[in-house]
Structure 1
């Protein structure tokens, strides 16, 4: 966290998303949300997108109350009007009261934290803002399966597998309710097929994930009594 500033995050976002294309990413996430992640939400409840990027998830998810945070202040310009945005560090959600959110979500963020101490701070802060029974859904590169591609990105620091993340979540007060070691491919950049039909077909065939998936999907819950 301390290794990144708003300015260099802005530059990383601009250069990296140009490789994939914002429109392409948004198209994929529209399908991911409608065909998969919408079912994990409380439609009439609330969700926080932690490190929201350009809003690919939060703009497309079907939830009544939407919140997003990102260190990059440019993110706000890409978010829809129904998203409440704050440019801030992920370990300081002081603008959100405790025990208020039904869901929190993050995609490809924890690996950018400099160490597990900072990861603990983020996990604890998300736990604070979740309601009892609320869930934190985490998507990210699984170092067990993406150990080569992982180091192609200069701002990757913290190596996590589905097992180490589960252990960290438990140590910080969560109960892990779902742990999928291999979910999505590592990246949608370059020549990865991203047509709606192909994304839907991939999501509908979990047995295929074990061959192509290099990102974990871990869902953790805040206990009703802690």
Structure 2
């Protein structure tokens, strides 16, 4: 937990940002994209009989579409709960406070496009340590996010981006906070796959099946780290 007086989250109206950014893009379109991402890529990395947490879940596009025996989600936006399926246990809380989840109970924690919103490396350290606490030995933290090395021209187009992270700096931060890094994909998804333009499902599946294409179009890293046994 953060020391008294430590500021981990900036005073930003999360619900207003989400409403403007994501509703404009079309929630149904985003959900469809994530359904394909989960079924064609992520599900193989998440045990269907395990316990999964979606950290900073947004409107639940990931956790609603992943198969998991137990599903948890946290977000600062209270509006998130009404978008989540009934099998998802939701808590409105900052990511550095997962006190409602006991030590060593989760098989997987996933977060997408979140860490760059933290105000400092200190805040990021608190989040990484809290996630580590909740993971079972051998449990994994899967992090998807914009890679500053490849999208520096777009990174600062969002008012609530504070922390610059690359695949390399995140891997180092995870190691320093007690994780063992399993896999680093520097270039995975484009900067956005759920914009205002429709993307056919078969094109998303084709992209996921061709890692050589990631090197040309990928702007986001995918880093996977485990809690040591």
Give the TM-score range, shorter chain.
over 0.9
Aligned residue pair count: 222
Q: 1:164 to 1:222 in 2, by over 3 A?
A: same
Q: How does 1:20-31 map to 2 (within 5 A)?
A: 20-31=25-36
How much is the aligned-residue C-alpha RMSD, in angstroms? 1.0
Aligned with 2:95 (options 90, 99, 105): 90
Q: Distance between the aligned counterparts of 1:113 and 1:100, measured in 2? A: 25
Aligned with 1:4 (options 11, 16, 20): 11
Find the counterpart in structure 2 of residue 114 from structure 1: 119
Gap regions ≥5 residues in structure 2: 1-7
Question: Offset of 1:189 from its aligned partner?
Answer: 4.8
Find the counterpart in structure 2 of residue 179 from structure 1: 184
Aligned with 1:55 (options 57, 60, 85): 60
Q: Does 1:72 align with 2:77?
A: yes
Find the counterpart in structure 1 of residue 168 from structure 2: 163
| 1:124–1:172 contact (8 Å) kept in structure 2 | yes
Alpha-carbon displacement from aligned partner over 1:185-226 (angstroms, at most 9, x marks no partner)? 0013545552110100000000000000000000000000xx
Alpha-carbon displacement from aligned partner over 1:111-164 (angstroms, at most 9, x marks no partner)? 000000000000000000000000000000000000010010000000000000
